[in-house]
A and B are shown apart, each in its own frame.
Chain A
Amino acid sequence: AQSVAQPEDQVNVAEGNPLTVKCTYSVSGNPYLFWYVQYPNRGLQFLLKYITGDNLVKGSYGFEAEFNKSQTSFHLKKPSALVSDSALYFCAVRDTNTDKLIFGTGTRLQVFP
């Protein structure tokens, strides 16, 4: 079965430090990968996607993600974290059989001042 995994329930980082939120996937064929962010009491907002091309994808709010085919990973990164980045982050992969999105369980990012 096709799937996506976010191995960390929570990531804590100090403001100004780099952050990484991990995501691994399992699909047949070429993966289409997405990151979404959910701020408190809000719906999900699209951050970035990987379809094809450059392995480093740049998105909103200074975030980027690195696609690594050999490690089947799509980790979200930011060089310098802000307190306002504190939110719930979801990785998703498109199921190549059904075209539906499969979401991970989410990682809560906490950035401390």
Chain B
Amino acid sequence: DVKVTQSSRYLVKRTGEKVFLECVQDMDHENMFWYRQDPGLGLRLIYFSYDVKMKEKGDIPEGYSVSREKKERFSLILESASTNQTSMYLCASSLWGQGDIDEQFFGPGTRLTVL
């Protein structure tokens, strides 16, 4: 079974702090994604990566950056946390499509609270 793990289930930070959210997948997937989930808004894509050292902006990249130094690991960075970044953050991975359409596999999520 594909396993996607996230470094923390719950995290509390203060405004202005630099925050790192880590995600690791164990199935050699090329694609990795970071979403945030907010009530009434569903999932919104922050950043994604198709390969090591590659990254592309999603729909709401402002205030975030990412790092993918190894294939299995995709980090989300909040450079200076703000209260409006309080949310549930979900990491996902998938195989490269190559003509097939593969589903994404999600981690358990990190609920981040910024005070």
Contacts and interface: CB of A to CB of B under 8 A. Distances in A.
Interface in A23-59: 32, 34, 36, 41-46, 49, 51
Contacts of B107: 43
Contact of A43 (B48, B103, B108): B108
Interface stretch (B14-22, B35-43, B63-71, B75-83): B35-43
Interface string A85-97: 0000010001000
B40 A105 contact: yes
A14 B58 CA distance: 39
A65 B91 CA distance: 25
* Best-surrounded residue of A41, A44, A99, A101 (most CB of chain B within 10 A): A44
Indicate the size class of the contact surface on chain A.
20 to 34
20 contacts: A9-B40, A32-B101, A34-B103, A43-B90, A43-B108, A44-B90, A44-B104, A46-B103, A46-B104, A51-B100, A94-B101, A99-B97, A100-B45, A100-B58, A101-B45, A101-B104, A104-B42, A105-B40, A105-B41, A106-B42
Interface of A: 9, 32, 34, 36, 41-46, 49, 51, 90, 94, 99-101, 103-106
